Amino acid sequence: MADPALDVPAPDVPEPGAPGSSEDPRGVHSAADIATAWQRERPGAPTESIEIVTPIWWLGKLFADDRDRALRAAGIDAATLDLLSVIRRSGPPYALSTREIACRTLVTAGAISQRVARAERDGLVVRRPGTTGRRSVLVCLTAEGHALIERSVDTVLGREARLVRGLSDQERTVLAGLLVKLMADVRRRTGR
């Protein structure tokens, strides 16, 4: 059942050529324009990444801003959503060690500790002794945490699906594959 508090209208995605689209001559310079300007101003500068990296940065900002609007309406922030989501996706009994959470979210152990402490204070998770040693601790969803993630996940994923619906199924599949390949290579090159 949808939660009315999460039903924040998603912004309309402009059609190509409409104001705000990548083909809008009145809009922000396109990544191609930026690359061309750098080639003109700094011949020989390595500009081949601009038309890939710049749209990824812009899309990341657009997706994050849209998600933040929905999450604010739900009374949850992105860090808490990330924490609760990774535990919920792990399946019953909805419990992970902080190390497992850090590995699955690409967030440092220190940041995970802060997120867990805040979520525990808010009654969304509890820490329980783990099974792999006396220092082992599991972070478990509470009933309240489980209910919050169940209420918010469909709204967040639905909004994101709407934002990418300008691509065909085949285009989404191709793009997803290319992004996986790029992510793996960037992680290898950066040691992350």
Q: List the Cα angle 94/64/166 in 5-degree steps.
A: 105
Q: Per residue in 17-40, is it b (16+ CB within 10 Å) or e — as a string?
A: eeeeeeeeeeeeebbeeebeeeee
- Does some domain include residue 185? no
Q: Residue 13: inside a domain, yes or no?
A: no
Is pLDDT above 80 for 18?
Answer: no
Q: What is the CATH number of the domain that holds 119?
A: 1.10.10.10
Q: What is the pLDDT of residues 102-137, one digit of tens each?
A: 989 888 888 999 999 999 999 999 999 888 777 788
Asked whether residue 47 is domain-assigned, the answer is: yes
For residue 17, being part of any structural domain is answered with no
Q: 123 and 67 in one domain? A: no
pLDDT (0 to 100) of residue 132: 78
Q: Are residues 111 and 68 in the same domain?
A: no
Does position 1 have pLDDT exceeding 90, yes or no?
A: no
Lowest mean pLDDT among 12-16, 61-65, 148-152: 12-16
Kindly state whether residues 103 and 150 are assigned to the same domain.
yes
Same domain, 55 and 113: no
Per the model's pLDDT, the better-predicted residue between 29 and 91 turns out to be 91
Q: Give the span between the Cα atoms of 115 and 103, in whole angstroms.
A: 14
User: Is 83 among the domain residues?
Assistant: yes
Domain membership of residue 168 (yes or no) is no
The pLDDT, as a whole number, for residue 26 is 39
Taking residues 152-175, what's their average pLDDT? 93
pLDDT tens profile 19-65: 444 554 435 679 999 999 999 999 999 999 999 999 999 999 999 99
Q: Are residues 85 and 157 in the same domain?
A: yes
Instruction: Please check whether residue 84 lies inside any domain of the structure.
Output: yes
Q: How far is the C-alpha of 117 from the C-alpha of 126, rounded, in Å?
A: 9
Q: Which pLDDT value is given to residue 130?
A: 82
Mean pLDDT rounded to a whole number for the chain: 86
pLDDT at 6: 43
Q: How far apart are CA 172 and CA 102, in angstroms?
A: 28
E runs forming strands in the chain: 95-97, 125-129, 137-141
| Parallel/antiparallel/unpaired status of strands 125-129 and 95-97 | unpaired
- What does the pLDDT read at residue 111? 92
The number of folded domains in the chain is 2
Mean pLDDT to the nearest integer, 66-89: 91
Output helix, strand, coil percentages for the chain, rounded to the nearest 5: 60, 5, 35
Question: Cβ–Cβ contacts within 10 Å for residue 84, how many?
Answer: 25
**Which of 35, 55, 74 lies at the terminal end of a domain, its last residue?**
74
Domain range spanning residue 104?
A: 76-163
Instruction: Confirm if 95 and 125 have CB atoms less than 8 A apart.
Output: no
Categorise residue 46: left if φ over 0, alpha if ψ from -120 to 50, beta otherwise: beta
Per-residue model confidence (pLDDT) at position 28: 61
Whether the CB-CB separation of 124 and 82 falls below 8 Å is answered with: no
- Straight-line distance from the first to the last Cα atom of the chain, in angstroms, rounded to the nearest whole number: 38
